[in-house]
Structure 1
């Protein structure tokens, strides 16, 4: 069974590459996915008439970001309808829109410094932002005169939405690119029908363009012959192609899918030290009636992210926790039966966080505090733990993928090109920049540019 390209993994990165390769270049593409459906973190499922996402999502730039060209390539740009959002920040019983909502809540000089900080970011070019890749976000914000604890906590709050790494380790350069791009597009949003609608649309378009997708088909090994990647082995079959693209986590690809002895020991040691972003404990609540007309709430409970992380890791949880609370049915009424509402309460946590049953109760109690009418409206809850996410997407249940920390962005990140001819990486663990799925798609654009250095025909996929 021979193909032009085999893509290992049907997450958004694998789907994006497959879409461009078959639709723009007419390549014979095979995508192999270990789960029973494609999409990775962009997967939705049904429960008692509600549409639940596997994660907790808002798409940073929606159709105006990297996702737009992918949908256009497979003629599916009209198949997704978007609802956009301006997030509201919750703190001590009040709601406000950050950053302007901090006026009057922090000292005047701090507010001026904060607004100057954001103006500088919005105008910064890529070259200047990359000079800050190795500077952590907290240090950078403080260097710009932002010292107020609430202002810093709000910056970290936005940063956690973007990269899911606390700001004392998150790259300032990466944060800048994420915020700048989102500010320019002004299109943060959510797709009607749930996030799975995005993956389903792209997968459908790939099939219509002649591509092949096989689910429940886990790749067990990448075949190397004469020092070159030439195919893959699954439990029951072998597939051949001169180009292998792995969207199955670059770290896992190099450490687990290559035959023993292929990866140099020095590379193995370096790659094993790389870490993933935070995971999430997610409580979805099916409500018998609506309790809010807001679409997205981010709640701040603790003003010291470093101390907060220590509490999570030791199980010495505070009584109230930071939350990410999208309300999917306020974006897309189809996500809940008529008259009902679907609300998600998610807490970013390290994969190693203990005592999740106790933490889940604190998450729910915090949500009740934010929305007092919530408690009497809940019909049922559906909980997803970091372990559940790991079972679906591996990577310690990471919300993003490889952490966008000061030592894992830019030139320090895994590259899209490996040292093995014919083997490339894409997705949220190799190359790219941006928020979540946009990071994964940007990795694909970077990969195609890299492939175009040896074969200019590949550049037609993105031009």
Structure 2
């Protein structure tokens, strides 16, 4: 009722809104699977007299869950993520995401593994039709199995090379569409001001479809944008300076590291934050670390396709590329596997889907290892 009141729905509109939300919340897995080729926009179009705020809410969810566009994101992914979100609480890792990665590295070391830092992989070595290791700037590491989390496109098109794959597979990889990018910054407040740990902000004009996205790329930034604000210090005070409040915020954008819309969105986001949260303005000590697709492409996903490379989560967020159509984690090149958002999982948001991919790909790699041991022993 609180949400319906905020949306200003009358009694008839509330019934339609309740019908849609209920059907999504209890939809069976079999029905969900039939929606891999149905966009969020197409699914909602079946309802007569659908209240506009309901459409806008699901358009926002297409951004939040898939970092995609309402007329490209499949309804199946949105429904699955919606149901998961209903059944599990949101949180923030103690110490921040950096600490979580450090903890994972410690687990690897504790189980006999070795973590190499400042050792960017320059090439995946292929010999006699199979992977045999990786090449960094300073060393060669031999291995019969390589699991790449660099993204399926950078892995195939750069780290391995097109010449080692069938032409049809290369075309398939090139045709995978990217998610949108995400760009923003962090604010340091001189004292705690905001009480919640997470704020999701959108309006009737903030969500993007393909038409609005194209207009933004020409410089026509909308009056409102979708903003996600995380307040890490409300979860763990040690993630920020003592006695101060840390805000990490941003908005969806083009995945192209060179797109001019990104700087315009920084300005728009700052303006909108001041309008929505005027109480923080007197206490903003700094706005820093403005980042987006350029930093993503430089650090984690090489730009190997024009107009992309800085996608927020990866590829495979559109109809025909999600659910049962998601890229396989096992590549056609013997010994090469992909892990992360691009392959092996679905129906989670960003980091969660990447982690779920790892949990599913790990036993796949182990089975492959056992198969190879068995064939060698014969």
Q: Specify the TM-score bucket, using the shorter chain as the normaliser.
A: 0.7 to 0.9
- Is this contact kept in 2: 1:165–1:403, CA < 8 A? no
Match of 1:372 among 271, 278, 283: 278
| Aligned mates of 1:343, 1:300 — CA distance in 2 | 18
Question: Matched residue pairs, number?
Answer: 359
| Aligned mates of 1:249, 1:334 — CA distance in 2 | 32
Name the residue aligned to 1:311.
215
Q: Per the alignment, do residues 359 and 454 of structure 1 end up closer, same or farther by CA in structure 2, a change over 3 Å counting?
A: closer
SS of alignment partner, residue 367 of structure 1: helix
- Is this contact kept in 1: 2:177–2:317, CA < 8 A? no
Following TM superposition, by how much is the alpha carbon of 1:428 offset from its aligned partner in structure 2, in angstroms? 0.8
Following TM superposition, by how much is the alpha carbon of 1:453 offset from its aligned partner in structure 2, in angstroms? 5.7
User: Structure 1, residues 179-236: CA drift from partner, whole Å, max 9, x if none?
Assistant: 1112122x11112221112111111111111111101112222222221212112222
Name the residue aligned to 1:263.
165
SS of alignment partner, residue 278 of structure 2: coil
- Is this contact kept in 1: 2:189–2:245, CA < 8 A? yes
Name the residue aligned to 1:129.
32
Gaps (5+ residues) in structure 1? 1-98, 459-463
Gaps (5+ residues) in structure 2? 303-308, 373-378
| Aligned mates of 1:336, 1:250 — CA distance in 2 | 35
Name the residue aligned to 1:442.
356
Q: Please report the TM-score for the alignment, with normalisation by the length of structure 2.
A: 0.87
Higher strand proportion? 1
Name the residue aligned to 1:329.
233
Match of 2:301 among 390, 394, 402: 394
Name the residue aligned to 1:216.
118
Following TM superposition, by how much is the alpha carbon of 1:457 offset from its aligned partner in structure 2, in angstroms? 9.0
Following TM superposition, by how much is the alpha carbon of 1:438 offset from its aligned partner in structure 2, in angstroms? 1.8
Q: Per the alignment, do residues 338 and 409 of structure 1 end up closer, same or farther by CA in structure 2, a change over 3 Å counting?
A: same
| Aligned mates of 2:310, 2:207 — CA distance in 1 | 24
Match of 1:431 among 344, 348, 351: 344
Q: How does 1:34-433 map to 2 (within 5 A)?
A: 100-103=2-5, 105-145=8-48, 147-185=50-88, 187-259=89-161, 261-301=163-203, 302=205, 305-306=208-209, 307-352=211-256, 353-382=259-288, 383-394=290-301, 396-433=309-346
| Aligned mates of 1:318, 1:163 — CA distance in 2 | 20
**Most deviating of 203-212 and 104-113:** 104-113
Following TM superposition, by how much is the alpha carbon of 1:145 offset from its aligned partner in structure 2, in angstroms? 5.0
User: Quick one: higher RCO (CA 8 Å, sep 6+), 1 or 2?
Assistant: 1
- Is this contact kept in 1: 2:162–2:170, CA < 8 A? no
| Aligned mates of 1:437, 1:357 — CA distance in 2 | 25
Following TM superposition, by how much is the alpha carbon of 1:144 offset from its aligned partner in structure 2, in angstroms? 4.5
Task: Give the aligned CA root-mean-square deviation in angstroms.
Answer: 2.3
| Aligned mates of 1:235, 1:275 — CA distance in 2 | 30
The ranges of structure 1 where at least 4 consecutive aligned residues each deviate by more than 3 angstroms after the TM superposition are 355-358, 448-458
Following TM superposition, by how much is the alpha carbon of 1:406 offset from its aligned partner in structure 2, in angstroms? 0.7
| Aligned mates of 1:189, 1:263 — CA distance in 2 | 41
**Most deviating of 258-267 and 401-410:** 258-267
Q: Per the alignment, do residues 288 and 200 of structure 1 end up closer, same or farther by CA in structure 2, a change over 3 Å counting?
A: same
- Is this contact kept in 1: 2:68–2:317, CA < 8 A? yes
- Is this contact kept in 1: 2:344–2:360, CA < 8 A? yes
Q: Per the alignment, do residues 146 and 224 of structure 1 end up closer, same or farther by CA in structure 2, a change over 3 Å counting?
A: farther
Q: Per the alignment, do residues 362 and 455 of structure 1 end up closer, same or farther by CA in structure 2, a change over 3 Å counting?
A: closer
SS of alignment partner, residue 99 of structure 2: helix
Q: Please report the TM-score for the alignment, with normalisation by the length of structure 1.
A: 0.72
SS of alignment partner, residue 195 of structure 2: coil
SS of alignment partner, residue 164 of structure 2: coil
SS of alignment partner, residue 263 of structure 2: helix
Name the residue aligned to 2:305.
none
Higher helix proportion? 2
Q: Per the alignment, do residues 259 and 295 of structure 1 end up closer, same or farther by CA in structure 2, a change over 3 Å counting?
A: closer
Following TM superposition, by how much is the alpha carbon of 1:285 offset from its aligned partner in structure 2, in angstroms? 0.9
Following TM superposition, by how much is the alpha carbon of 1:259 offset from its aligned partner in structure 2, in angstroms? 4.3
| Aligned mates of 2:30, 2:186 — CA distance in 1 | 41
